[in-house]
Structure 1
């Protein structure tokens, strides 16, 4: 029996500490509900569960991202549905306008609704936004990049000339007349034949199945040149691909695909790497040919244009390929021609000896008045600070504007506002030639110009914008969708009008093409939306399963932990009791003393 070391008390005390720690750990787990509260509880389990938590949180956010993506797509698709309804209404009006029960005046009224619908199509494209991002306005930067990339991809075609094909000389300059036109035609045919023949020679030497396919290209280009009325007015200024696409559209063929497949083979075939087709020569030929034809069309060739100012103006208002600005310029020219014709008419009357003295005097005075107006209009053409609405001003408004500027100018200090001014001249015309058709026609054209200027479409709505939705917990787990610009210009509708039967017929094809473009875009959006919906289901299911796995690792089993706590409570109390008894043992030594 010893008193310096109470081994029983030390042993009871050690177990009391162990039981107390276990009791505290069990209470902590029961209080937090977690089996792992610190790395010491389970280092490996903590590392695994933390990675799982990262994945779970990322998947939860990915699911929200995908849902936001669906919301964006639904916004765009809803706007496209409205644009498509407007196009369907325009198609209905186009068919209505082609009916001969309507006059051109009726068709102009039909066109009023069409032009408003076109404006709203641009409005929908510009105003459709999601979180301040335009959805249907495209991206010009993307469009430029795509064009650059396309050009870079085709650079190889212009590296060298094919064996036996010399670069084509520049297009002959045309002035006017059938002789020049015939020279241009022959020059173009020679250029086309040389390049097409060289293409076929290469394929023939290779034994390629495309041998002879460029004869179809040649036939298509020849057919278009021989029958220009079947195609757009400026088809000859387009690239080979664009011309063949138009040919395929009209004739239900697939010449363009043959051409493009052949060019791709030429680019990729190692046997002819040193003799790549010089497409640049033919492209340049077509461009120059188009320019020359356009120049010659102002003459007497009679193949592609009118023979005078009036015919040219008529073409500009009924054609379906001119830009709005070109139409406005043609109408301004028509206004000038009206005044010139009036002056010529008055000069003829003045020189007509069969007329009475009074008639000649009146014609002379009216001639002076119209000449004054003409000079004023010509002078204003040289001014650089004209108001924005100058082109759409009536003759009265232009005369008043001219007089106001002249009267306010330093040089106009001696300007007499009551005599030989533009306003005075027009007042004389109205007083002595009431209901003058020239004035009425001039003002009617001004109204048309005003309508055209109001119908200018947004040129900035073009290109394609890509939206990326991050739908995973890790890098590069995303779904993208391309949304093409859906404005009037991007859809090829800028020349749609119902002012004539022919224009309505030509517009129908453009409207059908636009409807098809929107249908294709809606189909793409619908497909991506369905994909995102499945993505959400998969992501949510994965997150749920990972949450279950993480729970198994990290959460505590409350029932099992209560058993342990009960055990540790009993052991702790027993350890305290044993420690108390062990501390009493050394007191027994006193009895011996």
Structure 2
């Protein structure tokens, strides 16, 4: 009778492992899943807030770009004198500066959203990328071509910053044993890696590379930090070797499930006057007799591209928001179903337990 009273008081059929060992184990697992899913719902809601904050800033950026294009169209008018064009250019410059300010200050909590640092991801350490021996001099050859993700390393680059590659401590020797200028070799590799990253769509990653040469074998070893690897061609370097990629920090991921690995990434590339190509624009610049475009004409072309870029970014954010909203709906359904399952296992059937308690009580009193 005491157990029946305990079950009626607590509302649980299982109050200790001895009540139902298997049921307790299953129930605790379901509770863990349910708790994780509830937190995942809050994570997804935070992700929506992040996306809305970024999209709101990009909306204002679009408005400024539209106004800048209007000014460019206005300045491309032969009836305007120099002072009128200078006035238009002054507003144009101020709007570009405001775009930079919006980029620098748009944040969610302490996380900057539009400076290119939100949405960079890399993982794994010590993944080796095999090099390929050089072809004869002056012949292009693939120095490295390896899908590192298949070797256990992945990277998602969703920022918008320019690729930055640093190569140091390089010593190259030719067939005569003379030392070659490392700067020239590094420049070739720099340009090749940067171009390959842009072409592959990985976009605007900071790739730090160090390199060294084994004089005994002539092998050149690259160590890359911050990328999955690279595919490029170089000429007349006379090298071979291998590169090792190491991981950097992960950002922009939201845990949207109860289990490890159930994440969604939100990537927001940098949106400022540099990435939009606005820095060099000048509405007062005149067309040249050799076919050079006027500053206003050049500005219109650049702004068309910039507006499209920002619109694409906003569209991606909108798609992400819709996905998170559906994720929340699905998570809520899962929470409801798991809670019901856990309740059926753990909770007391009050009617049945009350009948049992009353029966035991009558028998006890009848003594």
User: Secondary structure at 2:42's aligned position in 1?
Assistant: helix
Distance 2:194 2:22 in 1: 65
User: Secondary structure at 1:93's aligned position in 2?
Assistant: helix
The reply on whether 1:167 has 2:138 as its aligned counterpart is: yes
User: Secondary structure at 1:69's aligned position in 2?
Assistant: helix
In the other structure, the counterpart of 1:500 is: 285
The reply on whether 1:45 has 2:23 as its aligned counterpart is: yes
TM-fit CA distance, 1:239: 6.1
CA contact (8 A) 2:119 2:253 kept: no
TM-fit CA distance, 1:106: 1.1
Larger proportion of helix? 1
Unaligned runs of 5+ in 1: 1-22, 146-151, 169-194, 199-237, 244-255, 258-277, 284-463, 576-593
The reply on whether 1:528 has 2:320 as its aligned counterpart is: yes
Task: Give the one of 536, 543, 551 matched to 2:343.
Answer: 551
Task: Give the one of 251, 261, 269 matched to 1:484.
Answer: 269
TM-fit CA distance, 1:510: 1.4
Task: Give the one of 109, 112, 117 matched to 1:134.
Answer: 112
Task: Give the one of 231, 235, 240 matched to 1:281.
Answer: 235
In the other structure, the counterpart of 2:253 is: 468
TM-score, normalised with respect to structure 1: 0.41
Taking a change above 3 Å as real, the CA distance of residues 569 and 494 of structure 1, as seen in their structure-2 partners, is same
Q: Deviations over 1:341-400 (max 9, x none)?
A: xxxxxxxxxxxxxxxxxxxxxxxxxxxxxxxxxxxxxxxxxxxxxxxxxxxxxxxxxxxx
The reply on whether 1:111 has 2:89 as its aligned counterpart is: yes
Task: Give the one of 316, 327, 334 matched to 1:542.
Answer: 334
In the other structure, the counterpart of 1:70 is: 48
Unaligned runs of 5+ in 2: 123-127, 142-189, 201-231, 238-248, 287-293
TM-fit CA distance, 1:110: 0.1
Distance 1:42 1:130 in 2: 47
In the other structure, the counterpart of 2:125 is: none
Moved over 4 A (4+): 140-143, 152-156, 238-243
Larger proportion of strand? 2
Distance 1:465 1:485 in 2: 17
User: Secondary structure at 1:160's aligned position in 2?
Assistant: coil
Taking a change above 3 Å as real, the CA distance of residues 515 and 25 of structure 1, as seen in their structure-2 partners, is same
Taking a change above 3 Å as real, the CA distance of residues 121 and 282 of structure 1, as seen in their structure-2 partners, is farther
TM-fit CA distance, 1:82: 0.5
User: Secondary structure at 1:469's aligned position in 2?
Assistant: strand
In the other structure, the counterpart of 1:226 is: none
The total of aligned residue pairs comes to 264
Taking a change above 3 Å as real, the CA distance of residues 514 and 282 of structure 1, as seen in their structure-2 partners, is farther
CA contact (8 A) 1:465 1:484 kept: no
Taking a change above 3 Å as real, the CA distance of residues 142 and 30 of structure 1, as seen in their structure-2 partners, is closer
CA contact (8 A) 1:472 1:478 kept: yes
Distance 1:70 1:543 in 2: 20
Taking a change above 3 Å as real, the CA distance of residues 49 and 480 of structure 1, as seen in their structure-2 partners, is same
TM-fit CA distance, 1:160: 1.6
Distance 1:141 1:531 in 2: 17
Q: Deviations over 1:525-557 (max 9, x none)?
A: 111111111111111111110000000011111
CA contact (8 A) 1:139 1:465 kept: no
TM-fit CA distance, 1:139: 2.9
Taking a change above 3 Å as real, the CA distance of residues 38 and 154 of structure 1, as seen in their structure-2 partners, is closer
CA contact (8 A) 1:136 1:486 kept: yes
TM-fit CA distance, 1:497: 2.0
CA contact (8 A) 2:119 2:268 kept: no
TM-fit CA distance, 1:120: 0.5
In the other structure, the counterpart of 1:212 is: none
The reply on whether 1:568 has 2:360 as its aligned counterpart is: yes
Q: Deviations over 1:137-159 (max 9, x none)?
A: 1139969x9xxxxxx98975xx4
User: Secondary structure at 2:329's aligned position in 1?
Assistant: helix
Distance 2:262 2:19 in 1: 34
User: Secondary structure at 1:479's aligned position in 2?
Assistant: strand
Taking a change above 3 Å as real, the CA distance of residues 282 and 80 of structure 1, as seen in their structure-2 partners, is farther
Q: Deviations over 1:186-244 (max 9, x none)?
A: xxxxxxxxx7xx9xxxxxxxxxxxxxxxxxxxxxxxxxxxxxxxxxxxxxxx969999x
Which stretch shows the higher mean deviation, 505-514 or 44-53?
Answer: 505-514
TM-fit CA distance, 1:91: 0.7
Taking a change above 3 Å as real, the CA distance of residues 551 and 69 of structure 1, as seen in their structure-2 partners, is same
